[in-house]
A and B are shown apart, each in its own frame.
Chain A
Amino acid sequence: MATTAVTSAGIASEAPRSDFGRILAQRERRFAAALLAPAFLALLATTTFPLLFLVYTSAFRMDLAMPFTNGFVGFENYQVLLSDDRFWTSLLVSLVYTGSTVALQVIIGLALALLVMDMKRGQGWFRVIAILPVVLSPAVVGMIWRTFMLAPEFGIVDFLAINAGLGSKNWLGDPTLAMVSVIAIHTWQWTPFAFMVLLASLASLPEDIYEAARLDRASAWQRFRRITLPLLRPAIVMVIIMRTMVALTAFAAIFTVTAGGPGTATEILNLYAYRKSFTELSIGYGSALAVALLIVTIIISGILFAMRRAK
């Protein structure tokens, strides 16, 4: 539309050229659409459709244990959800889990990146070793921690705790310690990701501005606060967004380590939805929980993206 308006209002001698340009652009657009169509359809089939089906399911009572009660219930599942204490607890657990793991990943990752940047030798080795946890499957990581690290007496962490005079702890049996443990596990696995991104971003900062800042008499702390941090901001926000999405929907590591227990101490919302759907076989209510998680995720990512755009 805009192109036509410009063309007709434009200088007459320019008309043939811009006409030609418009046809070209149109052809290009059609070609692009043809190229995109398969991917678009695949995306539609694998994400949009299941999502809509999920929302649809959440409006039904679908109880595989009591099939005779099944039927359309409208918003009933959501009404139940709002007064379900276990939902609110799991939401809180999700938020604590997400908030603390993301904060820890960014802080530790940034500290490591700053340290490694100053290393004269061995940077390459450090990167290779650091990336190892990331390439492991979360389920494997869960198993490693449950057996190698946290097992009473023999696990490395427990062994260290005993030697540090803290005594053997029931790392996965005590509600608070279990929460600390799953947070530590997630942080252990994913901090290298934050570290790699921030290191790459740090390495791309020009060196001369730090020299200028030194001559301008900025202390090391001022250089970090006034130069490094603002320049890393886009990378940090990006890491926060990506890691928040993942932490909100974390599953395998917690499932293999505590399965949400003891009790519901480490039961994040995702896990609750899973248990409801596939252990208690209440699929309609499980879907409602999943939709609630989706809404929470959308709200939080909305806030984060708004933060990204803000100055």
Chain B
Amino acid sequence: MSGQGQVSFRNIVKLHGQFAALKNVNFDIKPGEFFALLGPSGSGKSTTLRILAGLDAPTTGRVMIDDKDVTSTDARDRDIAMVFQSYALYPHMTVAENIAFPLEMAKLPKSEIAPAVKDAARKVKIDHLLDRKPGQLSGGQQQRCALARAIVRKARLFLLDEPLSNLDAKLRLETRAELKKLQRSLGVTAVYVTHDQEEAMTLADRMAVFMSGEIQQVGTPAEVFARPNSIDIAGFIGNPPMNLVPARYVDGDVIIAGHRLKTTATTAVERDVVVGLRPGALRMTEGGLGARVDLIEDLGDTAVLDLDCAGTMIRMRVADGNIPGEGDTISITARPQDIHLFDPATRMRL
């Protein structure tokens, strides 16, 4: 039954009364791809996932899976496994019974169910908890149980709604790697919702960035990181995110706080722009933009400096051993290719 797992969203709109949770969403997911839906809270990620699963119907638009229009197909018949943001474990069943449930519904013989349940539980490290009820598990254990219930079935599409949000940092890294390996070995298409951009960057083959009900950019994590499409994405991706500074573009240069920086980005005429500068792309040099060090956040191997450039706050990442003192005045610059330009009116990339 497990087919390809190719997905297309065509002009999907979802209204809740007057409120548009999704405003014309379009994207395509290739078979076998690990696709992340990234965006801040309330941007429509879960809504998108629920429409794909068939739990909610879009107000308008088409959902295609493997070139078939499934917009009005019941969730039961879509061959999709999902990990809910709320786990949605069956409270009256033990962990083992929870994991076995989809297999029982698929009418698998008992002799095959037991080993499959064990195997799935072992993959997410809850095989010692099989006899417990969900109410007797910690949040992270419940989340892993939900994960096991989803992976035990070989569905063609695998939807995950923030499946690692409740795990501790170490377990999250481990499970993340395990998930990626699992998805590779099964060859299924995975759609992964997260608001953690680092998670999306490390896991996804490609990702769609949601902003208030719209997709603002689709691409590989590297692409999105290197060339954010809009001011909103630029301010969302990266840790710390890109500095966004009002400036003026004049003939191949940008003027920030009276200082000229060369840029490879071009725009037709002299105009006001917003300049994007990655904290990691800034360098200390002689004769650059003058800035006072307000605050130093030491992260161990690197440090993040909060700089005051004539009233504008700019953050900069520097390597250890190269850290100025608080209150010092330094001079910074950036390479021409590291300067991003955005239109302050449309908020789009120039």
Beta-carbon nearest neighbor of B103 in chain A: A216
Among B72-80, B178-186, B231-239, B256-264, which stretch is in contact with chain A?
Answer: B72-80
Residue from A209, A218, A231 in contact with B88 in the complex, judged by beta carbons closer than 8 Å: A209
A230 / chain B contacts, CB cutoff of 8 Å: 92
- Contacts A208-B84, A222-B105 known; A215 to B90 CB distance under 8 Å? no
Report which of A209, A211, A214 forms a contact with B89, defined as CB distance below 8 A: A209
Please determine whether A211 and B88 come into contact, CB atoms closer than 8 angstroms.
yes
CA distance A215 to B75 in the complex (A): 6
- Residue contact A216 to B101, C-beta cutoff 8 Å: yes
Closest Cβ of chain B to A226, distance in Å, is 8
Chain A residues near B89 (CB-CB < 8 A): 209, 212
Cα separation A216 to B105 with both chains bound (whole Å): 7
Complex: A226 Cα to B101 Cα, angstroms:
9
Q: Which residues of chain A have C-beta atoms less than 8 A from B53's C-beta?
A: 211, 215
Contact status A211-B55, CB under 8 Å: yes
Which of B78, B86, B90, B106 contacts A227 (CB under 8 A)?
Answer: B90
Chain A, 247-261, contact with B by CB distance < 8 Å: what is the 0/1 string?
000000000000000
Chain A residues with Cβ below 8 Å from B80 are 215
Q: Is B91 an interface residue (CB 8 A)?
A: yes
Give the residue of A211, A213, A216, A231 whose beta carbon is less than 8 angstroms from that of B92: A231
**What interface size band does chain A fall in?**
10 to 19
User: Counting CB contacts under 8 A, is A67 at the interface?
Assistant: no
**A206 within 8 Å of B (CB atoms):** yes
Do B105 and A218 have beta carbons less than 8 Å apart? yes
Residue of A nearest to B102 (CB): A216
Q: Is B147 an interface residue (CB 8 A)?
A: no
Name the one of A214, A216, A219 contacting B55, with C-beta atoms under 8 angstroms: A214
The distance from the CB of B280 to the nearest CB of chain A, in whole angstroms, is 41
Mask, A185-225, CB within 8 Å of B = 1, is 00000000000000000000010110111111111001000
Closest chain B residue to A220, Cβ basis: B76
- How many residue pairs bridge A and B at CB < 8 Å? 56
B82 at the interface (CB under 8 A from A): yes
Give B150 Cβ to nearest chain A Cβ, in Å: 9
For the complex, what is the distance from the CA of A214 to the CA of B88, rounded to whole Å?
Answer: 12
Cβ of B206 to closest chain A Cβ, rounded Å: 24
By beta carbon, the residue of chain B nearest A205 is B91
Q: Does B81 contact A (CB under 8 A)?
A: yes
Are the C-beta atoms of B88 and A208 separated by less than 8 Å? yes
Closest to A212 in B: B88
Instruction: List, in ascending order, chain B residues with CB within 8 A of A208's CB.
Output: 84, 86, 88
Do B90 and A211 touch across chains, with their CB atoms under 8 A apart? Answer: no
B101-116 vs A, CB cutoff 8 Å, 1 = contact: the mask equals: 1100110000000000
**Shortest Cβ distance from B205 into chain A, in angstroms?**
23
Given known contacts A222-B105, A230-B92, is B81 in contact with A215 (CB within 8 Å)? yes
> Complex Cα distance A102/B52, Å?
44
Q: Digitize A78-112: 1 where CB-to-B-CB distance is under 8 Å, 0 elsewhere.
A: 00000000000000000000000000000000000
With A and B bound together, what is the CA distance between A214 and B90 in angstroms? Answer: 12
CB within 8 Å for A211 and B84 given contacts A216-B101, A222-B105: yes
Chain A neighbourhood of B78, CB < 8 A: 215
What 1/0 flags go to A271-286 for Cβ under 8 Å of B? 0000000000000000
Q: State A213–B89 Cα separation when bound (angstroms).
A: 9
A217 to B150, CA, bound (A): 12
Specify which of B74, B91, B106 is in contact with A209 (CB 8 Å cutoff): B91
Given contacts A211-B55, A211-B75, A231-B91, contact A217 B102 (CB under 8 A): yes
A217 to B153: give the CA distance in the assembly, Å: 11
Q: How far is the CB of A27 from chain B (nearest CB, A)?
A: 35
Q: How far apart are B132's CB and chain A's nearest CB, in angstroms?
A: 15
Contact between A214 and B84, CB atoms less than 8 A apart: no
Q: Please measure, in the bound complex, the distance between the C-alpha atom of A3 and the C-alpha atom of B149, giving whole angstroms.
A: 46
Instruction: For B87, give the chain A residue with the smallest CB separation.
Output: A208
Nearest opposing residue in chain A for B55, CB measure: A211
**Nearest-Cβ distance from residue B143 to partner chain A, whole angstroms:** 13
* Chain B: CB-nearest residue to A219: B76
Contacts of B90 in A (CB 8 A): 209, 212-213, 227
When distances are taken between beta carbons in the complex, the residues of chain B under 8 Å from A206 are: 86, 88, 91
Contacts of B153 in A (CB 8 A): 216
C-alpha gap A209/B92 in the complex (Å): 11
Complex CA–CA separation, A215 to B55 (angstroms) = 9
Q: Closest residue to A210 on the B side, CB-wise?
A: B88
C-alpha gap A217/B86 in the complex (Å): 19
In the complex the two chains form, what is the Cα distance from A152 to B219 in whole Å? 80
B86 touches A215 (CB 8 A): no
CB distance from B146 to the nearest CB of A (A): 8
Q: Which B residues touch A215, using CB under 8 A?
A: 53, 55, 75-76, 78, 80-82
Interface centre among A211, A218, A227, A230 (most CB of B within 10 A): A211
> In whole Å, how far is A216's beta carbon from the nearest beta carbon of chain B?
4
B313 to chain A, nearest CB (A): 42
Of all chain B residues, the one with the shortest Cβ separation from A214 is: B75
Most buried by B among A209, A211, A212: A212
Alpha-carbon distance A219/B76, docked complex (angstroms):
8
Q: Output the least CB separation between B289 and chain A (Å).
A: 52
B131 shortest CB reach to chain A, Å: 13
Q: Can you pick out 17 interface pairs between chain A and chain B where the beta carbons lie within 8 Å of each other?
A: A206-B91, A208-B84, A209-B89, A209-B91, A211-B88, A212-B82, A212-B84, A213-B101, A214-B55, A214-B75, A215-B75, A216-B153, A217-B102, A217-B105, A218-B76, A222-B105, A231-B91
Besides A208-B88, A211-B88, A226-B101, 16 other CB < 8 A contacts?
A206-B91, A209-B88, A211-B53, A212-B82, A212-B88, A212-B149, A215-B55, A215-B75, A215-B80, A215-B81, A215-B82, A216-B101, A216-B153, A217-B102, A227-B90, A231-B91
Q: Top 8 A-B pairs ranked by shortest CB distance?
A: A208-B88, A212-B88, A216-B102, A214-B75, A217-B105, A230-B92, A211-B55, A218-B105
